[in-house]
Amino acid sequence: GTRIICDRKFLLECKNSPAARTPPCCLPQTPGVTSLALSSLVKLEELKERNESEEAVPDQDQFEMDI
């Protein structure tokens, strides 16, 4: 057999190629595998809302200190 040897620089450059950033055109839509499952989308929305509400609350000290 023949081995194909790629150096680190080549592999890192492949990561940024346009072909690596788009999914194949004929890939089937499988929830949870190739696309987010509906439950995952709901969880993401809940997390976003929770983060927004936590940001709205001003920062409070964890412990009160007597000076």
Per-residue confidence (pLDDT) for residue 7, from 0 to 100: 92
**DSSP notation for 9-38:** HHHHHHHTSHHHHS--TT----BTTTB--H
Block means of pLDDT (10 residues each) for the chain, 67 residues, are 89 87 78 68 77 65 70
pTM above 0.75, yes or no: no
